[in-house]
Structure 1
């Protein structure tokens, strides 16, 4: 039996950090979800996978743009693709802001017709939906938000909570035919 943590039965999967990336079934699209920062090492790990996934940076600010780009990638590949939402977290720990961002991306994917999601994704999506009006408060009150504000970065946290403020996805990597 395949390891159930791989979530291989589902098109949209969710994992936490480098361990989650390793556990999830290989996916043609990987979204590194980091709502208040960036995760270059996690992105590099995703890009180095042998099956050469397309890797996006996902956040609240670009949730719908990321979902649209995933749908475009699926069309370009000519068939259903596996999608791994990999949450950066806070040093491998739960991070409410990344969980909400994953829910926002999954909600946008559902609106676009991609909704065969693992239970982990469904919980993130249903957690996001009723809380979308409270994003600014939730991010500023989260552990990461409080730490960033204490370091003088309150404006960055406020900006990170702006749902769909960006119209373009951030692509870390796109597969090519070249070596």
Structure 2
């Protein structure tokens, strides 16, 4: 149970999830530049297929949501709203989708952690603090860094995927598995 004792933890891929999310109440799966889908809006079946590996690796009692750079702020708000509703401190694991270091997922995860911190959920592990600091330090260059990254060059993301969406709402958060009571 690495990073136990910290409210906000961070890891890479399914192995990172296993390492830091064994007691997590909420797992935020951050895929900054997912492979584009042929349809503009994912269907429930597509969501199930895309996240099957995550659901099977995650603790059974954890709620799973998905985030990226555009939805980082509303994902954090979603978590805070849930924490307020249950009236207790929640353990949160922010997991970058890439199984190894990838700057795009690292910065997008840092954006989620930064948003959590700004909302007062700031008892972060050193790993989470490093991702947050990287995002804060590169905030004005995130779009360039992500588009110039290996993944960014491979899929040539549209600019909207490279910035925080200030018009997004908590209704835009993709809930992969909801075990909230």
Taking structure 1 as the reference length, what is the TM-score of the superposition?
Answer: 0.84
Correspondence for 2:46:
none
1:175 partnered with 2:176: no
Equivalent residue for 1:108, pick from 106, 115, 118 = 115
Correspondence for 1:34:
31
Q: Is the 8 A contact 2:55 2:177 kept in 1?
A: no
In structure 1, stretches of 5+ residues that fail to align are none
Equivalent residue for 1:45, pick from 39, 50, 56 = 56
Q: How does 1:90-105 map to 2 (within 5 A)?
A: 92-105=99-112
Which stretch of structure 1 is more off in the superposition, 55-64 or 165-174?
165-174
Deviation at 1:43?
A: 3.3
Residues in 1 aligned to 2:11 and 2:56: alpha-carbon distance in whole angstroms:
14
Q: What root-mean-square deviation, in Å, do the aligned CA atoms of Structure 1 and Structure 2 show?
A: 1.7
Q: Is the 8 A contact 1:34 1:87 kept in 2?
A: yes
Q: Is the 8 A contact 2:28 2:95 kept in 1?
A: yes
In structure 2, stretches of 5+ residues that fail to align are 36-49
Residues in 2 aligned to 1:113 and 1:176: alpha-carbon distance in whole angstroms:
21
Question: SS of the residue aligned with 2:108?
Answer: helix
Superposed CA offset, 1:102-150 (max 9, x none): 111111111111100000011111110121111211111000011113x
1:14 partnered with 2:10: yes
Correspondence for 1:148:
155
Residues in 2 aligned to 1:44 and 1:54: alpha-carbon distance in whole angstroms:
10
1:131 partnered with 2:135: no
Residues in 2 aligned to 1:29 and 1:78: alpha-carbon distance in whole angstroms:
14
Correspondence for 1:84:
93
Structure 1 moving runs of 4+ over 6 Å = none
Correspondence for 1:68:
77
Number of aligned residues: 163
Residues in 1 aligned to 2:120 and 2:5: alpha-carbon distance in whole angstroms:
17
Taking structure 2 as the reference length, what is the TM-score of the superposition?
Answer: 0.83
Correspondence for 2:63:
54
